[in-house]
Amino acid sequence: MWLALAPLLATPLAACSGGGSQGAAASPPHVIDASRLVHTSAAAQTDPGKPFTVTVQTGGSLTDVTLSGPDGRQVAGVLDADGHGWHTTGPLAPGTHYTARIAATDGHGGRGETTADFTTEQAGRLLTATLGPDLGRDTYGVGEPLTVQLSEAVTDPAARREVEQSLTVSSQPAVVGAWYWVDGKNLHFRPKDYWPAGAKVKLAWNAQGRSIDGQLYGGAPSSLAFTVGDRVEAIVDAASDQLTFKRNGQVVNTIPVTTGKPGFDTRNGIKVVLGQERQVQMSSETIGIAKGSSEAYDLKVEWATRVTWSGEYVHAAPWSVASQGVDNVSHGCTGMSTDNARWFYEQTRVGDIVQVVNSKGHPMEPFGNGFGDWNLSWTDWLKGSALGRSVTTDAPPETVSAAATLRPQV
């Protein structure tokens, strides 16, 4: 860390007279050595979690202060109302060299400029955040939660609050939502109700330089944004063996289906579409059914829409058409005719809702087997927030997206 204060000489400013009886010109301001007038925290500025400050001696005032990193980007700051002080409001990055350029007056017609340099300490550890959804899509369904995966576990309640406060969710229109800590490294955000159709959503991680927990500091910022599509909901009734397809509250189609038979009952509850595969190989061994047993299968399945990581799909099942709308004969998936499965596939997207009712199966897991977030009541969801409260989003986002790949599980 080093400090340099040096006067920057400026060409005296010329002033034009508007005319007067004597035609006298105003005296130009004289250049002063601003380094003698200005004081900064640069000499002791090593902690990136503390603001950088600038003050001026009594009688003087600051006219301009900029603080820039090596990439030329300026750190946000604010000038005190009386003009005697300035401090950063934006974060400082660990292990980074900064240069401040400061302009001041002495109150007696003198003006000058000076600079101050400092380098922040390298943080012991940096906490980075991988944001989701990260499938490289511009549009998702109304059930898609926002996700954050941290680079290391955060368990201290105060540190978790710092993390939540470093995450900004904005949407247009605004919604009421909250974060939920799935575990020490993973957080989900969902609105109280589904996202509004057509909403513009943005998620940003803004913790750079922020002290999270002792020597753990926030790493590089990141963000993503997407648009919400129509409100698409598929309600699968395991008792009537019918799928009711709704778009924006209106019933569009009713499809005969078959769901899980006894012992393989389909999970009850709300699920979110995770991905779609034009064709997928499904093997009973992936769900614990031994090869060669009476329940074994190994099939190439078409028009498959995934709703759990453990292997539940809505897909074409031409072998069970006679049972569709009549009986439940599958191993847990929702089966339908090939034509109906293709129609369903083409009408849905990642993030749409598939809700199963009246099944004798276990309830959908809230976490770990897809996105079962919506199966928690709002009261229980709020209990998972370190801040213990909801937030209201309101700012319009920019469009950002990132690419990733779904796990090819069956």
DSSP state of 65: E
Location of structure tokens 């897909």: 315
Rg (CA), the chain: 30
DSSP state of 138: S
Angstrom CA distances, 297 to 261, 276, 282, 289, 308, stand at: 15, 21, 8, 9, 19
Of the candidates 39, 315, 331, 362, the residue annotated as catalytic is: 315
* Strand order through the sheet with 232-237: 250-256, 242-247, 232-237, 353-357, 269-272
> What is the distance between the alpha carbons of residues 135 and 353, in angstroms, rounded to a whole number?
17
Angstrom CA distances, 335 to 24, 264, 307, stand at: 94, 13, 13
Active site residue 315: yes
Task: Determine the residue type at 248.
Answer: N
Location of structure tokens 């939920």: 180
First to last CA, the chain: 55
Angstrom CA distances, 370 to 274, 284, 288, 305, stand at: 7, 20, 19, 13
Active site residues: 315, 333
